[in-house]
Structure 1
Amino acid sequence: MNRRASLWTMVGGLVVSTILFWVMVQLGQASSDPKPKVSPPQSTLKQEGSPPPSGRTHEESVAKDGATASARSTPQGPAIEMPREVIEMLDQRKRDLDRREEILRQNEERLAIVRSQVEELLEQNEALEKRLQSARAKGERPAAQPTKIPADKERIAQDQRTQLAKIFEAMPSEDAAARLERMPDRKAIEILRMVKSKTAGAILSQVRADRAAKLTEQLLIQTP
């Protein structure tokens, strides 16, 4: 969601800046147009004492000529219209934003599936390890197959650990770190030892500093 909000903010700022720049250019062109020259008011009476034409008084003629001169001296600015290039640019930005939003939505759906798989594998692995520890503590073995069943359980547990390590490697480091934070130290150390060194370093960089230091120390102690 933060990425989506950042994209909307960036596109909105670019659109507003483009429109403001275009309006300033249009206003600059309008102000640079030459103003029409104001013709001096013509005298309605060529000579003093001659009667005004068409029965108008001298004051009416002067007022009408002044109004005409004021109307001519007022420049008419150009009509502001949205350029075609700006409209096409906005349409292209909208299409790009829609495409990125669709990609983010698909990534979120895939990430949700991966998260559910990780949670399920963690639960299965935890339950299987508890059964193995219980069987080892009691020393119970079935009479018919004294060694095969524990070996099968060990193999299944190892397969689950391998699959879990692959999922952690494919997961974003911040998500993997968030899940590692909720695990016991023993389980977290086990996963960090199974993933690649580069992946383990990326995950530890997202873990709290004190927890990362503790896990790193235990990794060094348990290294043969």
Structure 2
Amino acid sequence: MPNLSQSITLIKTLLAMPVAHLRFERHLEPANVLSTYRYYTKRHPKYFVIGHKSWGAALIDLQQCTTRAAYLERIKGKNAGAYHARRARMRGYHLMEIDRNNYVDAIHDINTSVDQRQGRPMDAHYQEKQLHFEVLANYRCFGVFSAANELAAYATLGRFGNFSAFSQLMGYRNNDGIMHLLVSDIVGQLIDEGQVRYAMYDTFFGALPGLQQFKTMLGFEPYRARYSLQ
């Protein structure tokens, strides 16, 4: 548990965050949207007085990036997200929307390519080969492919209302910038489509410094999320 000084600092940080109103819409996929809403709004496992994903939600307000070019301008600079995405693109990597069931072997190879990520052991379920992936109307999957057309990284993205949220991001550890390309091109596609207000990548709290830096490099900022259900 945090001590008093840490708690006061945390409260000040929380109160300074901008507020985002995230709306869950059950018509998109009733059972999944409802279960996700309940998960996002349950009590935080460590800070019991706040919601699970209500404070420090890692969001991009897509209305502040009216075009894909504007978003890339926002994350440009040496060692920023656009820089690494461009490096990956120059190496021949490209993004495609995929059906995970067509890439069962390739996804398993990525999941088991390293024993640890972000300094933590891989969850056991990633070590087991999943032979079939459920297809939900409000979920999409994207893959980054190499110049040889081999899957190098993938992400699943759920749409829940006026926001879309990443649920999985996984790739080979090759320092080619593939994860930056994966996230930035998906965000760019969301901007092009104009269907959601926010892109979400979990929260800043609980993430290790390296993952926090990765989110910041790609334009995500900490918000206080207020959820509603329709």
> Which bin holds the TM-score, normalised by the shorter protein?
under 0.3
Q: Which structure features the higher share of helix residues?
A: 1
Give TM-score scaled by structure 2 length: 0.22
Between structure 1 and structure 2, the one with the greater Rg is 1
Q: Which structure features the higher share of strand residues?
A: 2
Give TM-score scaled by structure 1 length: 0.22
